[in-house]
Structure 1
Amino acid sequence: MENVGALALLLAFCISLYSIIASVVGRLKGKPFLTLSGERAVLAVWALVSTAAGILVYGLMTSDYRMAYVASHTNRDMPSFYKFAAWWGGQEGSLLFWSWLLSTYAAVAVLTSRKTHRNLLPWVVAILSTIQLFFLNFNAFIASPFQVLAVDKVVTSVADGMGLNPLLQYWAMVIHPPMLYLGYVGFAVPFAFAMASLIEKAPGESWIHTTRRWSIVTWLFQGMGIALGSAWAYHVLGWGGYWMWDPVENASLLPWLAATAFLHSVMMQEKKGMMKVWNMVLIASTFFLCIFGTFLTRSGIVSSVHAFAESPIGKYFVAFLALGIAATVWLILDRLNYLRSESDLESVVSRESSFLFNNLVLLASCFAVLWGTLFPVITEKLSNEKISLDAVWFNRLMVPIGLFLLFLTGVGPLFAWRRTSIDSLRKNFQWPGIGTLITAAALFAGGMRYPYSIISLSLCFFVTATIVLEFFRGANAISEKTQSGFIPAVIELTHRNTRRYGGYLVHMGMVLMFIGWSGHPFNETSVGEVAKGSTMKVGAYNLKVLDLTEGELSNYTWETAKLEVTKNGEFLEIVEPTRRFYKAAQQATAVVALRSRLNEDLYINYAARAGDKATLQAYVFPLVEWIWIGVVVLIGGTLVCLVPSKVARTYTRTEVVGVAKENAPVEV
């Protein structure tokens, strides 16, 4: 079976190479039969890579320990869904997963664009096949998942495997990597269409209309992957954090920030014919940051709990990035005349300027994260000393940037296109502004003394007020006109322009996440060794150790502390934080006890045991639950954006100057 899988990957490599040649030659020479064969080659590559992936998954599920990858990442006692997740749990398998997703995306792009983009499609196929060829090179020759165990050149087997890393044996880690990969890989399609439009000198917005949903969906997958990774860190690592500015975490955030900037600025091109060069740079940057993130995870140049072991494949990624960026820059520069803007920015106080500032802030945050991530590598090259920047450095820089971005989120809907009059500005800012000042004063009067938390929560009120007013004005107009109730009017309003109002929901999700982040300065911590029958205190909670128990299952042993939780003398519940020790990996993990409420989380980690004493790490994390609620709202808003609007929208290049209209599109 492993030979069939290896052969399938070799054939896929050869056919990808053929697809590139056939598509380019067919387009340049005007040979439709060649371009058609290039498209069919993409489908053949998908079938071959799917065959290889199926063989690997079958080996994982049936514990075929002749295959080195299976022996290294599974064992017989692992649950089936973790055996399946082992597909992307190691270097070789995850690269195959990358190739399979790319082949799937490419096949879908070909099948959905055959009739609408005949001129662009050969170049799209050639670009996607080039990326495919790069990854199939790893699968077929450098990091094959079908290597077998051998002794004296004789294929052998082992009685049992080593198993998946225990830290990865958590439900979120079954979903988290695929979501990130769906984002990483998916941005190849908008990039391919953008570059194809440059090569063909196609009409300015055709590639945008084609790839808008691709971009939103892949942005959503990337965001969900980041959120699931945060949930995994919060629930599994035992230290209570959901983000620690780890290099690999940062690598996943970079393309998401760039894509967020692109999704905003691309509306300027659709609406006003502006920022064409900028949009090309943004979509290219997003794609290459995805490749960079993949490189960072696999090269071993940075230290991370998420990274794979050091590997020689890093040099191939460096070469691919260098050649790809050079070719992209040359192509954009060569097409500058074709990318001229059709209008100019007329006023700083306008919706156009708010989009521009939004982009600048997002790119500033992207650069800051990139610099902080690469700083250890740079210092090591320059001084032979690796100097890492900790979370304090990142927070000191990123918190003000994030707050300014939150402010812009609220300001955007209040500005008109082209320019905003003083009267309009005063009218639109009056009540949200007054409410924001009252919120800040109330927080200070209530005893809050953390400036960033006061600013953050006040801005959350400001943005919420602007969003609610937008919904209220539009729904009220519909309600009066149709004599319908307010809730049906809100639904009708949203359906009329899903892109705009779905975007508002996405912004509302970000507001809720900022509320959650604002609670961080108020965290409380207590660490202590507590005997059976004794009590420890954290915040307003008392934790009494009722019992310490232990046991054994097929693939790990466990120890549990049974705790009684009371608050202000009132019994709340019994919780049982647990420690597990996985036999095959010889590694311990934590199963924390978590009591989540809207106002705060009680988080308890059972760190160690000595006789009848347990070492407990207890934390109170205010407002954390709002982060996860915000993620759900963001997902819901993005899904609304993907629903076709009831009223078809066309973009015109002439706008009335004046007050921000209720129907002026603000989309995401």
Structure 2
Amino acid sequence: MYFSELGFISLILAALFAVLTLVLAVIGAWKKRSQYTSSARHGALVVAAFLVLATAALVISFITHDFGVRYVTEHSSRSMPWYYVWAALYGGQEGSLLFWSFSLGLFTSLFVLTYKRAPAVLVPYVIATLMGIQLFLVLMLLTVSNPFVRLTAIPADGVGLNPLLLDPGMLLHPPLLLLGFMSFSLPYAFAVAAMISGHLNSEWLRAIRRWTLASWAIQSAGLLVGAWWAYHVLGWGGYWGWDPVENAALLPWLTSSAFLHSTMVQERRGMLKVWNLFLVIASFALTIFGTFEVRSGLISSVHSFAYSDIGGFFLVFLAVVIVFSTGLFLFRLPRLRPDQEFDSIVSREGVFLLNNFLLLGITFATLWGMLFPLLSSALNKQMMTVGPPFYNGVNGPLFALLILAMGVGPLLAWRRTSTSVIWRNIGVPLVLAALCAIILPLCGITNVLANIAFSICAFTGAAILYELWRGARVRHKHGESYPVAVFMLFKRYRQRYGGYIVHLGLVFLAIGVIASQFFQIQHDVTLKVGQQTEIAGYQLVFLGNLQQEETGKTVVTAQFQIWRDGKLLKYIYPGREVYHKMDQPVSKIEITTFGLNDLYVFLNDWDGPTKVGVRLFMNPLVPLIWYGGGLMLLGGLLCWWPAAQQGSRVRSQRRMSVPEKDEKQSAEVAV
């Protein structure tokens, strides 16, 4: 028996047990019998085991070069390093879908093993919903997207991955995005469970907070790695092109970010219940929409898979999800009335609501830009494309307002904030923002829009650091050193201060984006040996080209020296690799970081050993994008990290020390 046959049988068994588990979970919920729910939990583990077996069978088929499997032939070859052979597992449509199903099985198992942390009444409904999603995926694998189809004539070697995918980014970006898309299934399953059971208090929100944080963090990492991959591989000097598939990955990140903010309002004030359910449903629906978009072939993208009938099935599944969720939502709408009303828009919950509006505005604008070409083609019989100018022009101001709101929010109290408190809290950040607006033009940065954007970032960054300093100062007054005080703030209030770190990371990321968008320098030049060119004060001297033949490819390397102020700084070697089998060129881009600026050198053309054409970019502050993204992930991890046990927390509150009481009072100013 081939391993591919074992994999296919495993998928059949996974489908059968998914049906059985779904039925047991429904009976357990309907009859309120714990033995059925217990059996459903065990059934979910069995489904996951069969999916692990199926995935292992495909991995072994790749490792053993079983080119009798069509998917293995199309996405691997004997010359590929082993780590790219492993990455080929999710390099195509069938394998990526199997990876998604496999990951969902593992996440479901993790939920089943930790189910006691969730309200008991929700557990069978959650399992039933997850099994419904899992059943759809497995049925797709068994029918229209089978990764185990065998060929009648077995080739000696495979085609291999597209050379552009033979990059370290391939090892991280696709699995992170697939994990991110998949992980939104669990918050959605909780939302469905809450609506069906009528258990709509804040318990279901607390139960999914860490799951949603995990989804958000995974999706954030996937987007960040994807931007880095595009930056150092594609050769256009940028990191985000508003490509439809990039946008599809961004959409659920936006809605989940809104959800994480509005949950705090519901837990604190019993408000925004409708918003929270809507945002969870929207996040999951957008992951299905993104999967449909990638596989349907309707929207042109460099990231899309080839056209397949599976796109239509995902469209039907998306319609079922929307109709089913909307029906439940409307049915429970009368029970979603807020416990309290807004006392004032000038309050922390008012800013959270504004954040939601802004994030949803960005979501809608991005979705509209993706769908507009299809609508124009259907209505006017003419495809009209939407490019980066539209997204930058619409989303840019919305993101600026969002960052400003991030700075204002922590300075306001819950319920309402008096004018005197506002001015007292906002004074320091406002002064620093004003100084930024004055100093930047004196330093030669005269672009008005850029100065406004930088000043907004300065305000928000200062507001976050000011809040951190105020908390540390209170503890310091009672005897703690500042380092200890900061550590204790993060230890005792992880969610709050972890959120500040996320916001601070986003500020750094925004500064990098603003600088690189407004002040990027581009220079195209053709040089002969010994000639030099200059960009942003750096001189590049061309020394010649080297061309050599390697296994399956031709490698061309240009040699340059980088000089500044008469001092040799570095040798660089931008190049191209041309793969013979596919006649596919892949760029070897040289990115040299000086301080916080990137010198980006792309080999455009060459003529023998003595002539070269290069495209040069000076990208200011781009490293801040990667540092800021890393800071966001660190903050997300702090928010996700489990807090002390409830009993320990109660005992801690009973013996709360004076600095902690003062700190809490200063943090919760109420007027």
TM-score of the alignment, normalized to the shorter chain, above 0.5: yes
From 63, 80, 83, the equivalent of 2:65 is 63
**1:508 is aligned to 2:533:** no
The alignment partner of 2:143 has SS state of helix
Q: RMSD in angstroms over aligned alpha carbons? A: 1.8
The alignment partner of 2:338 has SS state of coil
- Provide the C-alpha distance between the structure 1 equivalents of 2:474 and 2:28, rounded to a whole number of angstroms: 55
- Provide the C-alpha distance between the structure 2 equivalents of 1:165 and 1:275, rounded to a whole number of angstroms: 47
Structure 1 regions of 5+ residues with no counterpart? Answer: 151-155, 651-658
Superposed, 1:321-340 pairs within 5 Å as 321-340=318-337
- Provide the C-alpha distance between the structure 1 equivalents of 2:494 and 2:279, rounded to a whole number of angstroms: 24
Amino acid at match of 1:5: G
After TM superposition, give the deviation of residue 298 of structure 1 in Å: 0.9
- Provide the C-alpha distance between the structure 2 equivalents of 1:559 and 1:324, rounded to a whole number of angstroms: 51
- Provide the C-alpha distance between the structure 2 equivalents of 1:115 and 1:564, rounded to a whole number of angstroms: 60
Q: Choose 521-530 or 260-269, whichever is displaced more.
A: 521-530
Amino acid at match of 2:514: S
1:112 aligns with: 114
- Provide the C-alpha distance between the structure 2 equivalents of 1:557 and 1:171, rounded to a whole number of angstroms: 20
From 79, 89, 93, the equivalent of 2:81 is 79
Superposed, 1:208-223 pairs within 5 Å as 208-223=205-220
Amino acid at match of 1:629: Y
- Provide the C-alpha distance between the structure 1 equivalents of 2:38 and 2:480, rounded to a whole number of angstroms: 53
- Provide the C-alpha distance between the structure 2 equivalents of 1:452 and 1:572, rounded to a whole number of angstroms: 34
Superposed, 1:174-189 pairs within 5 Å as 174-189=171-186
- Provide the C-alpha distance between the structure 1 equivalents of 2:32 and 2:456, rounded to a whole number of angstroms: 57
After TM superposition, give the deviation of residue 223 of structure 1 in Å: 0.5
2:621 aligns with: 623
1:491 aligns with: 487
Amino acid at match of 2:601: I
1:43 aligns with: 45
Amino acid at match of 2:238: G
After TM superposition, give the deviation of residue 451 of structure 1 in Å: 2.1
**1:126 is aligned to 2:128:** yes
**1:343 is aligned to 2:340:** yes
- Provide the C-alpha distance between the structure 1 equivalents of 2:521 and 2:64, rounded to a whole number of angstroms: 47
- Provide the C-alpha distance between the structure 1 equivalents of 2:472 and 2:29, rounded to a whole number of angstroms: 51
After TM superposition, give the deviation of residue 94 of structure 1 in Å: 0.4
- Provide the C-alpha distance between the structure 2 equivalents of 1:538 and 1:445, rounded to a whole number of angstroms: 23
Superposed, 1:88-487 pairs within 5 Å as 88-114=90-116, 116-150=118-152, 156-481=153-478, 483-487=479-483
The alignment partner of 1:274 has SS state of coil
- Provide the C-alpha distance between the structure 1 equivalents of 2:422 and 2:10, rounded to a whole number of angstroms: 63
The 8 Å contact of residues 14 and 51 in structure 2, kept in 1 or not, is answered as yes
- Calculate the TM-score normalised by the size of structure 1: 0.95
Amino acid at match of 1:502: G
Q: Choose 278-287 or 641-650, whichever is displaced more.
A: 641-650
The 8 Å contact of residues 420 and 660 in structure 1, kept in 2 or not, is answered as no
- Provide the C-alpha distance between the structure 2 equivalents of 1:208 and 1:583, rounded to a whole number of angstroms: 55
After TM superposition, give the deviation of residue 515 of structure 1 in Å: 1.1
- Provide the C-alpha distance between the structure 1 equivalents of 2:560 and 2:209, rounded to a whole number of angstroms: 51
After TM superposition, give the deviation of residue 326 of structure 1 in Å: 0.8
The 8 Å contact of residues 118 and 207 in structure 2, kept in 1 or not, is answered as no
Structure 2 regions of 5+ residues with no counterpart? Answer: 651-662
Q: Choose 639-648 or 194-203, whichever is displaced more.
A: 639-648
Cα deviation digits, residues 501-544 of structure 1 (max 9, x gap): 01000000001011101212111111122112221222222211
After TM superposition, give the deviation of residue 554 of structure 1 in Å: 2.5
Change (3 A) 1:332 1:560: same
Cα deviation digits, residues 577-613 of structure 1 (max 9, x gap): 1101123332111010111133311000112211221
Superposed, 1:634-649 pairs within 5 Å as 634-645=632-643
Cα deviation digits, residues 316-335 of structure 1 (max 9, x gap): 11111111111111111111
Amino acid at match of 1:528: V
2:656 aligns with: none
After TM superposition, give the deviation of residue 445 of structure 1 in Å: 2.4
Q: Choose 410-419 or 456-465, whichever is displaced more.
A: 456-465
What is the aligned-residue identity percentage? 38
The 8 Å contact of residues 580 and 589 in structure 1, kept in 2 or not, is answered as yes
Amino acid at match of 2:391: F
Amino acid at match of 1:624: V
- Provide the C-alpha distance between the structure 2 equivalents of 1:256 and 1:65, rounded to a whole number of angstroms: 38
Change (3 A) 1:513 1:439: same
- Provide the C-alpha distance between the structure 2 equivalents of 1:231 and 1:613, rounded to a whole number of angstroms: 30
After TM superposition, give the deviation of residue 118 of structure 1 in Å: 3.0
Higher relative contact order (CA 8 A, sep 6+): 1
- Calculate the TM-score normalised by the size of structure 2: 0.95
The 8 Å contact of residues 119 and 204 in structure 2, kept in 1 or not, is answered as no
- Provide the C-alpha distance between the structure 1 equivalents of 2:117 and 2:509, rounded to a whole number of angstroms: 42
The 8 Å contact of residues 496 and 647 in structure 1, kept in 2 or not, is answered as no
Q: Choose 437-446 or 283-292, whichever is displaced more.
A: 437-446
Amino acid at match of 1:570: K
The 8 Å contact of residues 163 and 584 in structure 1, kept in 2 or not, is answered as no
- Provide the C-alpha distance between the structure 2 equivalents of 1:665 and 1:368, rounded to a whole number of angstroms: 36
2:657 aligns with: none
The alignment partner of 1:243 has SS state of coil
The alignment partner of 2:342 has SS state of coil
The 8 Å contact of residues 128 and 192 in structure 1, kept in 2 or not, is answered as yes
**1:24 is aligned to 2:26:** yes
Cα deviation digits, residues 284-325 of structure 1 (max 9, x gap): 000111111111111111111111011111111111111111
Amino acid at match of 2:465: V
Change (3 A) 1:30 1:500: closer
Change (3 A) 1:234 1:407: same
- Provide the C-alpha distance between the structure 1 equivalents of 2:164 and 2:209, rounded to a whole number of angstroms: 36
Superposed, 1:587-666 pairs within 5 Å as 587-611=584-608, 612-645=610-643, 662-664=666-668
- Provide the C-alpha distance between the structure 2 equivalents of 1:34 and 1:492, rounded to a whole number of angstroms: 45
Equivalences, count = 653
The alignment partner of 1:119 has SS state of helix
Q: Choose 571-580 or 425-434, whichever is displaced more.
A: 425-434
The 8 Å contact of residues 409 and 507 in structure 1, kept in 2 or not, is answered as yes
- Provide the C-alpha distance between the structure 2 equivalents of 1:250 and 1:115, rounded to a whole number of angstroms: 34
- Provide the C-alpha distance between the structure 1 equivalents of 2:452 and 2:117, rounded to a whole number of angstroms: 52
The 8 Å contact of residues 555 and 583 in structure 1, kept in 2 or not, is answered as yes
After TM superposition, give the deviation of residue 661 of structure 1 in Å: 5.1
- Provide the C-alpha distance between the structure 2 equivalents of 1:406 and 1:647, rounded to a whole number of angstroms: 34
The alignment partner of 1:132 has SS state of helix
- Provide the C-alpha distance between the structure 1 equivalents of 2:589 and 2:373, rounded to a whole number of angstroms: 32
Amino acid at match of 1:663: A
- Provide the C-alpha distance between the structure 1 equivalents of 2:441 and 2:482, rounded to a whole number of angstroms: 35
After TM superposition, give the deviation of residue 645 of structure 1 in Å: 4.0
The 8 Å contact of residues 497 and 647 in structure 1, kept in 2 or not, is answered as no
- Provide the C-alpha distance between the structure 2 equivalents of 1:28 and 1:645, rounded to a whole number of angstroms: 34
Amino acid at match of 1:508: L
Cα deviation digits, residues 196-220 of structure 1 (max 9, x gap): 0111112511111111111001100
**1:537 is aligned to 2:525:** no
- Provide the C-alpha distance between the structure 2 equivalents of 1:115 and 1:283, rounded to a whole number of angstroms: 20
- Provide the C-alpha distance between the structure 1 equivalents of 2:361 and 2:669, rounded to a whole number of angstroms: 26
1:54 aligns with: 56
- Provide the C-alpha distance between the structure 2 equivalents of 1:264 and 1:118, rounded to a whole number of angstroms: 26
The alignment partner of 1:335 has SS state of helix
After TM superposition, give the deviation of residue 660 of structure 1 in Å: 10
After TM superposition, give the deviation of residue 646 of structure 1 in Å: 5.5
Cα deviation digits, residues 552-577 of structure 1 (max 9, x gap): 33243211001001123322110001
Change (3 A) 1:321 1:203: closer
After TM superposition, give the deviation of residue 52 of structure 1 in Å: 0.7
